[in-house]
């Protein structure tokens, strides 16, 4: 079936552990798919170096989509896309059945991991995790109309304004707030 061929091909490209298993024992790995002999031969005929190169280009494309979804956070934390790419190697993207754009869908999917990474890294701005969560949740709620909540140590909405003007906040005052995001934007109340 062409669908099984496509699923096998995409999985080989998107899932590095699956790709490694495919290189080590292709016949065993491909048994999970309803492939014809011709389809198996076609997959086996693709040189490993070509598969790796194409897989790497997919990672770059995903990282670019991800970066476009969180431009303000990338401005504060330029290494964020690299962190995402490393995570993506072990956590392949599922099919995107969301109303969210692919990059934003990925930013939301990886939010718990990256927010924790940013929060515990002393070389990052102290508000970088909150900024990332704010940017992802606000844009996601605007697009899919789902209500989301977030606790922040900062008035992240004010930090966003400064960053949009080209400023990099150096030592913002802590002001714990609870944000509520919906399709109309972000609202906050003091904690």
Residue 97 pLDDT > 80, yes or no?
no
Residues in contact with 151: Cβ distance below 8 Å, sequence separation at least 6, in sequence order: 176, 177, 178, 179, 191
Is the pLDDT confidence value at 113 over 70? yes
Which of 118, 117, 188 is closest to 155 using CA atoms? 188
Q: Is the pLDDT of residue 73 over 70?
A: yes
* Average pLDDT, rounded, for the chain: 93
**Please, which contacts does 147-150 make with residues 24 or more away whose CB atoms are closer than 8 Å?**
147/180, 147/181, 147/182, 148/180, 148/181, 148/182, 149/178, 149/179, 149/180, 149/181, 150/178, 150/179, 150/181
DSSP 180: E
Locate 139 and state its tokens. 């844009």
Please give the average per-residue pLDDT across 182-186, as a whole number.
Answer: 95
Q: Could you give the CA distance from residue 180 to residue 108 in angstroms, rounded to a whole number?
A: 16
What pLDDT sits at residue 98? 83
* In contact, 104 and 142? CB cutoff 8 Å: no
What band does 191 get if pLDDT is binned at 50, 70 and 90? confident
pTM for the predicted model, two decimal places: 0.84
User: pLDDT tens for residues 146-159?
Assistant: 999 999 999 999 99
Q: What is the pLDDT of residues 165-177, one digit of tens each?
A: 999 999 999 999 9
pLDDT range class, residue 124, cuts 50, 70, 90: very high
Q: Give the Å distances, CA to CA, from 126 to 99, 114, 170, 189.
A: 32, 14, 9, 21
* pLDDT of the residue at 21: 93
Determine the pLDDT at residue 1.
Answer: 60
């Amino acid at each position: 079936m062409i669908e099984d061929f496509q699923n096998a091909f995409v999985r080989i490209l998107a899932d590095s552990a699956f790709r490694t298993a495919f290189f080590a024992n292709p016949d065993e790995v491909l048994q999970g798919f309803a492939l014809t002999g011709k389809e198996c031969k076609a997959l086996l005929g693709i040189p490993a170096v070509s598969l790796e190169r194409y897989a790497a280009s997919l990672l770059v494309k995903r990282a670019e989509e991800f970066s476009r979804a969180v431009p303000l956070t990338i401005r504060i934390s330029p290494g964020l896309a690299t962190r995402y790419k490393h995570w993506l190697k072990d956590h392949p993207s599922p099919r995107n059945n969301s109303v969210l754009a692919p990059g934003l869908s990925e930013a939301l999917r990886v939010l718990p991991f990256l927010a924790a990474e940013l929060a515990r890294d002393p070389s990052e701005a102290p508000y970088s995790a909150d900024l990332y969560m704010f940017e992802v949740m606000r844009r996601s709620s605007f697009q899919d109309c789902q209500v989301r909540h977030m606790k922040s140590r900062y008035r992240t909405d004010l930090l966003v304004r400064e960053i949009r003007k080209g400023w990099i906040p150096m030592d913002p005052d802590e002001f714990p707030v609870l944000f509520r995001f919906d399709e109309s934007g972000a609202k906050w109340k003091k904690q």
